[in-house]
Amino acid sequence: MGAPAPRNRLLGHGDSGPSTGSPITVLLVHGWSCSRRQWKHQLPLLSRCYRTIDLDLPGHGDSPADLLAEPPTVEALAGSVVTLMKTRVPSGPIVVVGHSLGAAVAIEVARQQPGRVAHVISLDGLVHLGVYEKQDEAAVAKLLEPLVEDFRRCGDFGAAAVRMLDGFISARDRLPRDELAATCSALDARFGLDLYRSILSWDMREALAHTAVPVTAMCAAATLSPQVRRRYGTRLSLVPVAGVGHFLHLEAPEVVTPLIRGLIDTLAR
């Protein structure tokens, strides 16, 4: 057998914007079964004034799953982001922008590095209580069942993942679905299912309670429930965006990207 893969390798990433003088560094963290390439609409505007690092989480894009020395969990993924952050951005404030799973990872990065993260911006993450609040084992199995059954029927995890994600898309004509399908298909089925299971088991309530960093949650207006407003309205700054679904940064980049940039500009003043 070959030697085990070294665990000190860095996540695949891009690094753009000013190399010196940036008042804030922006970290872009993609969602489950996605990749850093889906920040293509945000990078030009953000990197104009800020150093911007877009990364691939373990098991996604250019980052192999064996970067993790443990099973995939939200906390473990955050640890890999912290390693990249410490190596590439050893000082200065950081804003972490996370889509979906990436928002949960961003919260855990802030929890692991409380003195470095100035703000978390969530894009349609954290607000879906049936996913981001900790579920018991029976609920996890029930939520995973449609994806598992679809995968068993078709034998193509990428196709099954895209069909599942389709239910969360509003502006289908604006989403590059072929690109999304190719990215999903590159995700190993076992790794993808294990990671999804860990998302459903993540204790968001506890994580938020032990993370003091401010959080702005931009989300699809149509799915923002009264329960979220009641339960987390004082902890999350909620920013509903009309006419979009789960992939709001891809479905309406002309609306969402200036919102992200405007918030970062305010923090940088």
Task: Tell me: pLDDT of 171 over 60.
Answer: no
- Calculate Rg over the CA atoms of the chain: 17
Interval 45-71: pLDDT, tens: 999 999 999 999 999 999 999 999 889
Residue 177 pLDDT class (50, 70, 90 cuts): low
Q: Which residue range is the domain that position 23 belongs to?
A: 13-268
The dihedral through the CA atoms of 59, 63, 65, 69 has a sign that is negative
In a domain, 39, yes or no: yes
Residue 139 lies in a domain: yes
3-state SS, 55-67, equals ECCCCECCECHHH
Percent of the chain surpassing pLDDT 90: 73
Report the alpha-carbon distance of residue 55 to residue 12 in Å, rounded. Answer: 6
- Average pLDDT value for residue range 128-139: 94
- Structurally, the chain folds into a number of domains equal to 1
Position 96 in a domain? yes
Question: 7 lies in a domain?
Answer: no
Rounded mean pLDDT, 198-204: 96
Tell me if 144 is assigned to some domain: yes
In a domain, 8, yes or no: no
Distance of CA 239 to CAs 30, 129, 211, Å?
A: 19, 17, 20
Place of tokens 């970062």: 264
- Kindly give, in sequence order, each residue whose CB lies less than 8 Å from that of residue 85, ignoring residues fewer than 6 positions away: 27, 94, 109, 113, 116
Residue 263 in domain = yes
Q: For residue 125, what is the domain's CATH number? A: 3.40.50.1820
Whether 5 shows a pLDDT value over 50: the answer reads: no
Give a yes or no: residue 246 inside a domain.
Answer: yes
